[in-house]
Structure 1
Amino acid sequence: MLYNTFITAENGNTETIVLLHGFGGNSRIWKYQIPLLSKYFNVLTVDLPSHNEGNLRLSQIDVTLDAISKEILAVCDMHNVRNAIFMGVSLGTVFVKYIEAFYPKYVKFGILVGAVATVNTLLHGCAKLFSKIGDKLPFVAVYHVFSWIIMPGKRNQESRSIFRKCAIALNKQEFKLYMHIFNQAFRFSKMFEKEYHPENTYISGMLDSCFLRRTILEAQRSCGRMIQMVSCGHVCNIVHKERFNTIMLELLEQHQKLSAEAAF
């Protein structure tokens, strides 16, 4: 079972929001959101395979999007979470989308932060290269290069720092396996953008040089809502946490209002 934490809503609400972090991180990536969310919702955080000390390793299961998604859903089942809001950041958004596509009963709607869509040639090429020789290179150096490609520049310094600290639980073998997951994710994104998902909201930074342009296209083609945050890079919930939290709460309040209206 994947490492997870379930926090009961302070206001007694029975609705749950499931949080999925990105590659190299763990649930600490949501440290600025969890205290706020838990006031109004049950919060279930799930750490992806190989992330966090002592967690299930990717090398212990099939190296596929489906296998990881089933492990996430096994955690949901354990907590009797059968229909929830899902919010993911970076690679975590891929699993939100995958579960929507293949296990849709679990997802009310998705909030996709710094979504991974189809990608530029540089990142795609790096993922292919590291999937072949990633375990033969100095792990720390490779990880620093990878984090700079995804989150370049001074504005992303805090995000990179958290990203690298959380990566301690990874090793070069697990890193190499995750490059295969990234390659699958890029292929899956081509399929997903052809589907109809108006329930989703994408939140991306306008300085996200890797993913923004193609994320906008995915949102348009799948009929999702697109929100762009100015002066912000890939990991929006950290770079501008106060502004992100305001947007997040507005989305959730809109959902609760619509749910209340539908009940009448």
Structure 2
Amino acid sequence: MLHYRLYETDPSYSWVTFIHGAGGSSSIWYKQIKEYKNHFNILCIDLRGHGKSKKDTWKKNDTFIQVAEDVIKVLDHLNISSSHFVGISLGTIVIQTLAQEYPNRVLSTILGGAVIKLNIRAKFLLTVGRLFKSIIPYMWLYKLFATIIMPYSHHKESRIVFIQQAKKMCQKEFVRWFSLTKSINPFLKNLQLNVKGIPTLFIMGEEDYLFLAPVKELVSRQPELHLITLKNSGHVCNIDQPQKFNKATIQFIQSLNY
């Protein structure tokens, strides 16, 4: 089972489950936990191969569906029937998969730095990564990608946090996760065809130049979706602008009257 951290404040509170991005861990939510504990019970999960979760749990042909199943097993173990889900970056793909495969377990989705489509620059980065993932030490690639995706000086804390967390991975796990990106665009397109009535908030940094435009396009076509953009923030907006992130996301959940 995946490693998790639990903060159960009040049995009457709703649950919020946090899902981190590639190379991260449950510890990247350190700027959210304190504020969220005032309103919700919290579950933070380390995805397979990340943080303190076991390494080498992959089977041939595993996809994001199996990754989502990992999360459901934790909820089952803890007798959590349903939860709000908050994710960042790759974690938003896991959450979107959960919403499609287990809609009855998902009260709402909050997708930070959401990945819903890859533009030409993102595709180029992933192609380079796939070409060299088994040759170049993964931390070289990870540091390069972190610098490209989070390029500005006020993204420095986000870069440092994710690079530090990525050091807990290993080359084999990095290669496994990277392999999931091979057919990611068709997979993402299918996820967006039907949100199954689940309240969905996208929260993006205005400087998230790789992923913001596709989200804006999607929200313009599907008025039931919500989008908030944060100034002076890049891809990892929960770290770049934590106060604004926390206020907007907590208000969104509270507006649902659960």
Q: Residue in 1 aligned with 2:42?
A: 43
The 4+ residue runs of structure 1 with deviation greater than 6 A are: none
Which digits, 9 at most, give the CA deviation of each residue in 1:187-246, with x for residues without a partner? 322122222456100000110011000111233334310111112111111001112111
Specify which structure has the higher proportion of helix. Answer: 1
Residues 17-36 of structure 1 correspond to what in structure 2 (within 5 A)?
Answer: 17-36=16-35
- Partners of 1:226 and 1:147 in 2: CA distance: 24
Q: What's the offset of the Cα at 1:132?
A: 4.3
CA 1:8 to 1:198, structure 2 compared with 1: closer, same or farther past 3 Å? Answer: closer
- Partners of 1:198 and 1:226 in 2: CA distance: 15
Q: What's the offset of the Cα at 1:40?
A: 1.7
Which digits, 9 at most, give the CA deviation of each residue in 1:160-182, with x for residues without a partner? 00000000111222112111223
**Does 2:135 correspond to 1:136?**
yes
Indicate conservation of the 8 Å contact 1:150/1:210, yes or no: yes
Q: Residue in 1 aligned with 2:55?
A: 57
Instruction: Count the aligned residue pairs.
Output: 255
- Partners of 2:171 and 2:136 in 1: CA distance: 8
- Partners of 1:123 and 1:177 in 2: CA distance: 19
Q: Residue in 1 aligned with 2:98?
A: 99
Which digits, 9 at most, give the CA deviation of each residue in 1:80-119, with x for residues without a partner? 1121111111111111111101111110110111101111
- Amino-acid identity (%): 26
Q: Residue in 1 aligned with 2:208?
A: 208
Q: Which moved more, 1:246-255 or 1:70-79?
A: 246-255
- Partners of 1:13 and 1:185 in 2: CA distance: 38
Question: Helix, strand or coil: the match of 2:22?
Answer: coil
State the one-letter code of the partner of 1:146: F
Q: Residue in 2 aligned with 1:225?
A: 226
Segments of structure 1 that go 5 or more residues without pairing to the other structure are 260-264
Which digits, 9 at most, give the CA deviation of each residue in 1:48-72, with x for residues without a partner? 111114x222553453101111011
Indicate conservation of the 8 Å contact 2:206/2:230, yes or no: yes
Residues 1-264 of structure 1 correspond to what in structure 2 (within 5 A)?
Answer: 1-9=1-9, 11-53=10-52, 55-57=53-55, 59-62=57-60, 63-196=62-195, 197=197, 199-222=199-222, 223-255=224-256, 258-259=257-258
Indicate conservation of the 8 Å contact 2:82/2:106, yes or no: yes
After superposition, the CA RMSD in angstroms is 1.7
TM-score, normalised to structure 1, is 0.90
Q: Which moved more, 1:126-135 or 1:33-42?
A: 126-135
TM-score, normalised to structure 2, is 0.92
